[in-house]
Chain A
């Protein structure tokens, strides 16, 4: 296909995958993840043992899924404040339903509740034309109250089988949680990149007016993003319930800011229309594991938030600085 005369580097630079990552601002987070992983393994080679891989995967998986959900909302130009509450609600729904129903039924029910929450947010935002942040802030109180109504203290009936299916090992060295995340991410990526609907989700955040003028339905795209996001959060909540073996009406709380941070780290545009699935997974992995690295490096774990913030600023800032410097060099040499 391509002419053999083109050097490998140039061909790589022009490959559609890399161009896509670049366009979606995800090159820096992917590189940062590689660097982070190398440092992690250097500090703690034990990571590559079966047990540690499994715990690391269980730590990262729920955050990765919630971050993907947040990415969807950011793509259509909003920020979802209710992810934490939806996560708590679906978490306790799953844990309590396990008391009477089979794990499959409980899981489907939890995902349905998550999508229902997304539908509620989406209808008010896309068709009610209300600001996303106001809608999700309000709904987060509603969903949070519902969660405590369902289960007011940690409990539920998470069986060992469920724990194994969500946070065990599929095969040696292959944590199940990682597989769930990768399957969800791959499906989401296919939807966003390979269907018109996915491109519409990007378009709705980029220029909703333009989409309407071209005869496209931006509201349906926005609503779809909300519903899918609800489902992804529920999936994250199920994995969390499995790995902690309990349902907890406050379990989602730590995930709100971390999910927003992961989307920021992934290089997504908070005005909508730009953001990458691959970058978000990498960003979630970094943020989820910063605490571990510091622990193994013998640093007080309070520092993890500081280090996490430094990473965000560095990964988001370095490309900007590089671009500015190169512009100045070019300007001076011209």
Chain B
């Protein structure tokens, strides 16, 4: 890699325009030999007394997409990390193309053609996109020429259909969805024999997922194997040729394309019969009181003239593609971002100045985008995190406070079925879904008028999602107005009373009743107003 004209190894050298067309039916890919590209044999991994993965074996064929499904904590991520070389298995072996992969090093794995994109974005925030794309390959004593790397990154991004991403931009300035695409781009632009995607679509919008599928089909058409870890059953139905279901760290069943239904898969994952059913929004019976939120002409840095009304007990969905002002809208309504409005009332009271402290006072609750960074103090206990908005500096805190609030804490933890060892457990030790329930649980039973949710079900397992849906509906039934931004259109369509779709920072369409369909939401999101 010392040659001055070095390129990204294995970056698609041929134009890719032709690939998607012929790769439409990727399931029956072109391969002739049935020798699996990636084989995992009897993988086992324990952390202390916890058996994260027990005796998992699987084989992925070239040209196929192999799904790995299971609830959070079922061991999917650990398996994916062992396949990617990031975690060393206690026992067991990973073979790539028949050769055993001496694991424990992502670098060696990458050299063997095993590329991965992780759920917890493995990008360096202060690096530019170009640096994140180019630096992982090549030795550390190599000359680094910013101009050349930038051009190289530009070429890679263009080849992958990502012209909207500026390679000069530091990653921390970009929206989550773009970051995730950069991470995927880094994985697929390498020399790919095996691609491991661990919840890589969790922040992507429907067109983003389409983009990802197109990339996957290009790779499978070239004979690569893809391991696809996801909670989104719709995606798995579309892309997966085969799959393995994990529960409590062990393989419980396998499936093949077309041979399964959502309900079967869920009950296999959960070990019980469960139906994926969206709860219906509750009847609007509090409509006589003042509106939970009434805002007219809200304007801020990325939103223009947005007017919304939310009745008490109403669930208002916010749809649209990532980066069209949804995040800014919610943050403005929470007072975390400067915004002005012609009229602005929460539960009938006029809002003049708003910051998060005043917002809590006014009866607003907020579940932010990034639960780890904005939502929780990960080093602090479960109970203290639940109490965070409710502790004033002059009040008692710590153990005495937890004791006094025990009733409420237990109610919240029980009501949301948070799986934790108790109020004193470190919240960083909880799984993603349970952490999300903590961020949400703060606002339960606390006399809220309006709760703002930023994609609360992102990257959490099916059961936790189900429980969150029920909790949101229960909250609305108590008369709380809910504003809910989701990247999963199905959620909006089924659980919300009304959906407002944002496009370029303004309301593109408002959908209700008959018109509230997934197609209409997606259509409005891309700027096409559905015909009523």
Interface residues of A (CB under 8 A from B): 16, 19, 23, 193-200, 202-203, 205-207, 209-217, 220-221, 269, 273-274, 327-328, 330-332, 334
Known: A16-B147, A213-B86, A327-B301. A203 touches B126 (CB 8 A): yes
A273 to B125, CA, bound (A): 9
Known: A206-B125, A334-B301, A334-B304. A216 touches B135 (CB 8 A): yes
Q: Closest A-chain residue to B145, C-beta based?
A: A194
Residues of B close to A195: CB separation below 8 A:
140-144
- Within the complex, what minimum Cβ distance (angstroms) separates B506 from chain A? 12
Asked if B170 contacts A330 (CB within 8 A), the reply is no
Q: Closest B-chain residue to A198, C-beta based?
A: B144
Known: A199-B144, A215-B106, A331-B339. A207 touches B136 (CB 8 A): no
A-B contact pairs, 21 of them (CB 8 A): A194-B143, A196-B138, A196-B144, A199-B127, A202-B127, A203-B135, A212-B122, A213-B86, A213-B118, A214-B106, A215-B106, A215-B107, A215-B108, A216-B140, A273-B125, A273-B126, A331-B299, A331-B300, A331-B338, A332-B340, A334-B300
The listed residue (A196, A198, A211, A269) touching B124 by CB distance below 8 A is: A211
Residues of B close to A328: CB separation below 8 A:
338
- Within the complex, what minimum Cβ distance (angstroms) separates A273 from chain B? 4
Q: Does B186 reach chain A (CB closer than 8 Å)? A: yes
Interface residues of B (CB under 8 A from A): 85-86, 105-110, 116, 118, 120-127, 131-132, 135-136, 138-147, 168, 170, 186, 299-301, 304, 338-340
Asked if A196 contacts B338 (CB within 8 A), the reply is no
Asked if B110 contacts A23 (CB within 8 A), the reply is no
Q: Closest B-chain residue to A203, C-beta based?
A: B124
- Within the complex, what minimum Cβ distance (angstroms) separates B8 from chain A? 13
Asked if A19 contacts B140 (CB within 8 A), the reply is no
- Within the complex, what minimum Cβ distance (angstroms) separates A204 from chain B? 9
Known: A23-B170, A215-B105, A216-B107. A221 touches B140 (CB 8 A): yes
- Chain A residues touching B, majority SS: helix
A200 to B109, CA, bound (A): 20
Residues of A close to B146: CB separation below 8 A:
16, 193
A217 to B127, CA, bound (A): 16
- Within the complex, what minimum Cβ distance (angstroms) separates B342 from chain A? 13
Asked if B123 contacts A210 (CB within 8 A), the reply is yes
Known: A213-B106, A216-B136, A331-B339. A196 touches B141 (CB 8 A): yes
Residues of B close to A16: CB separation below 8 A:
146-147
Q: Closest A-chain residue to B138, C-beta based?
A: A196
- Within the complex, what minimum Cβ distance (angstroms) separates B238 from chain A? 27
- Residue from the set B142, B186, B304, B338 with the largest chain A CB neighbour count within 10 Å: B338
Q: Closest B-chain residue to A273, C-beta based?
A: B126
Asked if B139 contacts A273 (CB within 8 A), the reply is no
Residues of A close to B131: CB separation below 8 A:
199, 203
Q: Closest B-chain residue to A274, C-beta based?
A: B126
Asked if B135 contacts A200 (CB within 8 A), the reply is yes
Q: Closest A-chain residue to B172, C-beta based?
A: A206
Asked if A196 contacts B301 (CB within 8 A), the reply is no
- Within the complex, what minimum Cβ distance (angstroms) separates B86 from chain A? 6
A283 to B122, CA, bound (A): 33
Known: A207-B124, A274-B126, A328-B338. A197 touches B140 (CB 8 A): yes
Residues of B close to A209: CB separation below 8 A:
120, 122
Residues of B close to A196: CB separation below 8 A:
135, 138-144
A135 to B85, CA, bound (A): 31
A38 to B138, CA, bound (A): 46
Asked if A207 contacts B142 (CB within 8 A), the reply is no
- Residue from the set B106, B123, B144, B299 with the largest chain A CB neighbour count within 10 Å: B144
Residues of A close to B338: CB separation below 8 A:
327-328, 331
Asked if B126 contacts A202 (CB within 8 A), the reply is yes
- Within the complex, what minimum Cβ distance (angstroms) separates B9 from chain A? 12
Residues of A close to B147: CB separation below 8 A:
16
Residues of B close to A274: CB separation below 8 A:
126
Q: Closest A-chain residue to B305, C-beta based?
A: A334
A45 to B210, CA, bound (A): 67
Residues of A close to B86: CB separation below 8 A:
212-213
Known: A199-B135, A327-B301. A194 touches B144 (CB 8 A): yes
Residues of B close to A221: CB separation below 8 A:
140
- Residue from the set B116, B131, B135 with the largest chain A CB neighbour count within 10 Å: B135
Asked if B340 contacts A331 (CB within 8 A), the reply is yes
Residues of A close to B118: CB separation below 8 A:
213
- Within the complex, what minimum Cβ distance (angstroms) separates A201 from chain B? 10
Q: Closest A-chain residue to B84, C-beta based?
A: A213
Closest 7 CB pairs of A and B: A213-B122, A215-B106, A215-B107, A206-B126, A273-B126, A331-B338, A203-B124
Given pairs A196-B140, A199-B144, 5 additional interface contacts (CB within 8 A): A196-B139, A213-B122, A214-B136, A220-B140, A331-B300
Residues of B close to A214: CB separation below 8 A:
106, 122-124, 132, 135-136, 186
Known: A202-B126, A334-B301. A215 touches B110 (CB 8 A): yes
A258 to B317, CA, bound (A): 54
Residues of B close to A206: CB separation below 8 A:
124-127
- Within the complex, what minimum Cβ distance (angstroms) separates A146 from chain B? 32
A203 to B135, CA, bound (A): 10
A200 to B144, CA, bound (A): 11
Residues of A close to B300: CB separation below 8 A:
331, 334
Q: Closest A-chain residue to B85, C-beta based?
A: A215
Residues of B close to A205: CB separation below 8 A:
126
Asked if A334 contacts B299 (CB within 8 A), the reply is yes
Asked if B140 contacts A217 (CB within 8 A), the reply is yes
Residues of A close to B138: CB separation below 8 A:
196
Residues of B close to A330: CB separation below 8 A:
301
Asked if A210 contacts B121 (CB within 8 A), the reply is yes
Known: A196-B135, A199-B135, A203-B135. A210 touches B140 (CB 8 A): no
- Within the complex, what minimum Cβ distance (angstroms) separates A321 from chain B? 14
Asked if A215 contacts B340 (CB within 8 A), the reply is no
Q: Closest B-chain residue to A217, C-beta based?
A: B140
